[in-house]
Structures are given as C-alpha cells and as structure tokens.
Amino acid sequence: MTDFDFLTDVVDSSKVDYGEGPREEHSADWASELIGAGVTPDAVVTPTSTEDVSRVLEACDSRGVPVTPYAAGTALEGHVVPVERGVSLDTTEMDSVVDVRPDDFQVDVQPGVIGTDVDDAVERHGLFYPPLPSSGGISTIGGMIATDAGGMQTVKYGKIGDWVVGLECVLADGSVVRCGGRAEKSSSGYNLKDMVVGSEGTLAVVTEATLRLKGIPDEIRGARALFPDIDSAADAVSDAVRSEVDVAKIELIDDVAARMANEYLGTDLPDTPMVFLEFHANHGVEREVEFAEAVFRQHDVDEFKTASRERMEDLWEIRSELGFAVRSYDPSLHPVQAGDVAVPISRYPEMVKEIKRLGDEYDVLVPVFGHAGDGNVHYAPMADPDDQDQYQRAVEVYERAVERALDLGGTATAEHGIGRGKRHYLEREHGAEAVDVMRRIKDALDPNGTLNPGKVLPDED
C-alpha cells in the first residue's frame, strides 16, 4: 500500500484531500449511470498553479502512482473516472482568465475556466468563442481540449482544436511544455498542440490555453423547420450542407427526442421531426435564411418559420437540455450509452434512417438528434436496466449503429472522445498500425503509464 503523504510534501496540504466524500465523488461522472463508475482514488489533489501540477505529476510518476485528471465531470465516456487508484487531479480551481488580447482575437485561460465564462470575459470587446459544446455552461475548457469537443456551431466554425492557438501543458514526468504559440500561422516543428488536443489527459495535463476568438456577428437569425418524416428532414440537412448554405447551427431533433423535451421542459414541440437553425453574418443574413428555406422546400418541409431572438434562445435552451430530457423521460428507461457517430455528409440520411430502422428491428426506443450539418448523429437506445433482454437489445442497437457508421467511412465518436467506453472501436476505426503508432507515442511521452491509465488505448493482449 502506497503512502500518500508525499503529496503534502510537494503541494500545500490544503490542496490534498483524503476524505471519503471527495474521493467517492471523483470516482464517478455524468457517464457513470450509463457505463458504470470507476474505482475510488486514494487522494484528490486540487492544484492552483502549473507548478503544483508539475510537482504532483513528478512525484506520482517517480513512485508509480497513477494520476487521473478530473474537471467538471461532464464527459460521456468515463474519461475522468479512475480505473486504477492513485490520485485524482482536479483542475477546477485553476479557473482564471489570465489575459485578454482583443487586438489579436486571443485570450489565455486556465483549464478550469467554464466555457461560457470565456464568452463573458470577452463579450465587452465584441468577441466570442465559437466552438463551445452544448454543455458549454457547465464544462471546462480543459475538458473540451482533452476531448477536442465540438458543438452546435462546429458546422460553421470548427471544433475546439481549431480555436486553440497554443497550450502550456505538463507531461507525466513533470516537465512543462509549451505547444504552439501566439502566431496564427506556423510551420515550425511537429504539431504538438494538436497531438495534445483530444488526447484525453493521457499524454499531458493542460495548464493554460491560448484560445482564438471571433467577432460577434452583426446579424443573427434563427429558424425552425418541421418535416413530415425523419427521412425528409435528414435529406434536407444533407442537401443544405452540400449546397453550402451558410449556417452557424443546423440541428436535427426527431419526434421521439421532441416528445422527451416536452415532458422534461414542459414545452410544446410538435410530434414530428424538426430542424433548428441559426444564421450568422455581418450583412445579408436574410439571403441565407431564404436559401435554406428554398432547399428545405425541395424536401417536403411542412413549415419553415424564422424565430425572434427570444424564441430562438428558447430553441437552443431546449436543444441544450436534450441530454437531460432523454435521461429523465421515464424512470425505468435509461439510455444504454450516448451515441456520437459521424459520417460523410452524403451518407448522413442513410445513417439516420439506419438508426431508426435498428430501433424498429429491435423494438427499442431511440431518440435521435445532433449536429446534423457535421454528419454527426447523437442517439440513445433506451432500456430498463432490470430487463436484461431489453437492455441487451438496446446495446445491440447502439453497437450496430457504430458499426454502420464505420462501414460508411465514418467515426465512432465525432466529439465525445474514446474515454473508457469506446476503446474497443479504436482499432476497428483506424487499423492496428495506427493504434500501434498511438501506443508508441503514449510510451514515448508517458513511459510509466502514469497519466489517465485505461483510457483511449485498448488494453494490450
């Protein structure tokens, strides 16, 4: 049994917690009710500086103590839940906006800053941070970088990684590394920044990030479109993207998800598939709205209504709450996992249809929604955990949908990441040779396997 007193030798004792409550808390996250909780760490350390992180990692690494980074706990594949004991490294206290440089459209933040706090910090300069995920109001920037998160506006602006210019991070051995920089464009050396982005705390712990910002558009419009069936809705979205309608958000919500939203939020969405849209421009935004409507008319849209600013905010509130709505719909029905496939846009209608078909085939309730413009489908096969047969059928729907996405040239996870839950798809998606390269990189940067063990890479035989 390791003695964990060494922790208070390297950081102030106020930052180290051996209490059962905090330790239990750090053994679970949002995904735990879906894929199970993890083991309870021996200690929770809450660093307040890069030096703290460096000292803790160096001390743990030299003693063979695993370190699992933790932040808001909103990950959906068990990324932050320890599979080995050791230290849970909670970065939520490192939550300062360090420097805003509006003239360069850049802001430096610590990893524990909540997504929307970045927007709040730069709004008075007329700027915003475009790629925030739907959980932007509760998730941390560090967590978003760890998963290379995407969001509703990824269709126009790209993912988190596209809006990170530079990083400061700490390797397992405690060395502090700067990746990228402040120049918007560089071909200098290997791209370490994008290697760390999306590596889910298995290669390094991010201690500061330089984010790229964008001017708030002068014109913003919202719209809601209703379709007679899911096929028309999916075809309409695919066609809009292929026609390059300039949308900032284009979200599909099927009738099942809409029903769940109504139950959970007391809203009155109609019982039919629908698409929510948002348009950003500095001028001429109406042209794009009209263009989108014209494309949708080709696909049997029943109703296409622009939304007032207030009504639009309501729509996005509904969309952001969908994950909660799905979980709260029926106390006896749980989503078996949070589906997150993406396929090339021309295959998007086929992918959506297949998921609905699988639901029918297996007689499983499957709400479908997501960032349609990216070819990204979220789906959540529902089952009663006490009904083993139903549960197994729901799991099969989940897995067969991933298989189909991969067959269509897609990905098992568009934005949630691999974590613990999707490791078995890694080789299927990328091939054994690519996984071997990932493993070589992991071994090169973290030879003792200290950082977030049991995540991303499948166990070796």
**Site residues for a copy of itself, window 365-394 (CB under 8 A)?**
371, 374-376
Report the C-alpha dihedral over residues 363, 367, 369, 375, rounded to 10 degrees.
-20
Task: Kindly give, in sequence order, each residue whose CB lies less than 8 Å from that of residue 77, ignoring residues fewer than 6 positions away.
Answer: 31, 35, 338, 413, 416, 417, 418, 419, 420, 421, 422
For position 63 contacting a copy of itself by CB under 8 A, the verdict is no
Contacting range for a copy of itself; rule: CB under 8 A; set: 34-42, 300-308, 343-351, 393-401: 343-351
Q: Which of 71, 95, 80, 91 is nearest to 41 (CA)?
A: 80
Q: What is the smallest separation between the CB atom of 346 and a copy of itself, expressed in angstroms?
A: 4
CB 437 to a copy of itself: min, Å: 6
CB of 80 to a copy of itself, least distance (A): 15
Q: Is 424 in the site for a copy of itself (CB under 8 A)?
A: no
Among 48, 50, 139, 411, contact with a copy of itself (rule: CB under 8 A): 411
Give the residue, chosen from 19, 228, 385, 409, that forms a contact with a copy of itself under the rule CB under 8 A: 409
Provide, rounded to whole angstroms, the least separation between the CB of residue 111 and a copy of itself: 17
CA distance 216 to 219: 9
Q: Indicate whether 298 belongs to the interface with a copy of itself (CB under 8 A).
A: no
Cβ atoms within 10 Å of 51's Cβ, excluding its own = 15
Residue 128 CA: distances (Å) to CA of 70, 160, 295: 26, 13, 29
Structure tokens at 172: 């397992």
Are residues 253 and 322 in contact, defined by beta-carbon separation less than 8 angstroms? yes
Q: Pick from 21, 268, 271, 444 the residue near a copy of itself by CB under 8 A.
A: 444
Shortest Å, Cβ 458 to a copy of itself: 10
Task: Kindly tell me which of 80 and 345 has the beta carbon lying closer to a copy of itself.
Answer: 345
C-beta of 431: minimal distance to a copy of itself in Å? 5
438 sits near a copy of itself (criterion: CB under 8 A): yes
Smallest CA-to-CA distance from 252 within 438, 377, 83 is with: 377
**Nearest-approach distance from CB 362 to a copy of itself, in angstroms:** 25
Both tokens of 114, joined, read: 């909540």
Member of 9, 14, 21, 185 binding a copy of itself (CB under 8 A): 185
Residue span binding a copy of itself (CB under 8 A) among the ranges 66-74, 112-120, 328-336, 423-431: 423-431
Least Å distance, CB 158 to a copy of itself, is 8
Nearest-approach distance from CB 38 to a copy of itself, in angstroms: 20
Q: Quick one: which of 403, 395, 377, 413 has its CA closest to 34?
A: 395
Out of 137, 284, 297, 387, the residue judged to bind a copy of itself by CB under 8 A = 284
For the CB of residue 300, give the shortest distance to a copy of itself in the complex, in Å. Answer: 20
Residue 203 is a binding residue for a copy of itself (CB under 8 A): yes
Residues in 125-184 at the binding interface with a copy of itself, rule: CB under 8 A? 147-150, 154, 159, 161-162, 171, 175-179, 181-184
* Binding residues for a copy of itself, total number by CB under 8 A: 84
- Does position 187 interact with a copy of itself (CB under 8 A)? The reply is yes
Q: Taking CB under 8 A as the criterion, which residues in 91-130 touch a copy of itself? A: 101, 103-106
Beta bridge partners of 176: 170
Q: Among residue numbers 213 through 272, which ones bind a copy of itself (CB under 8 A)?
A: 214-215, 242, 244, 246
440 in contact with a copy of itself (CB under 8 A): yes
**According to CB under 8 A, which one of 395, 441, 448, 449 is a site residue for a copy of itself?**
441
CB atoms within 10 A of CB 1: 5
Q: Which CB atom, from 45 or from 149, has the smaller least distance to a copy of itself? A: 149
Determine how many CB atoms are found less than 10 A away from the CB of residue 303.
12
Nearer to a copy of itself, 246 or 384 (CB): 246
Listed residue (206, 217, 230) closest to 157, CA to CA: 217
**Least separation, in Å, of the C-beta of 234 and a copy of itself?**
14
Minimum CB–partner distance for residue 347 and a copy of itself (Å)? 8
283 binds a copy of itself (CB under 8 A): yes
Phi and psi at residue 412, to the nearest 5°: -70, -20
Q: Which residue lies nearer to a copy of itself by CB, 221 or 371?
A: 371
Q: Which two tokens stand for residue 288?
A: 């794009």
The answer to whether 197 contacts a copy of itself (rule: CB under 8 A) is yes
Cβ proximity to a copy of itself: between 15 and 193 the closer is 193
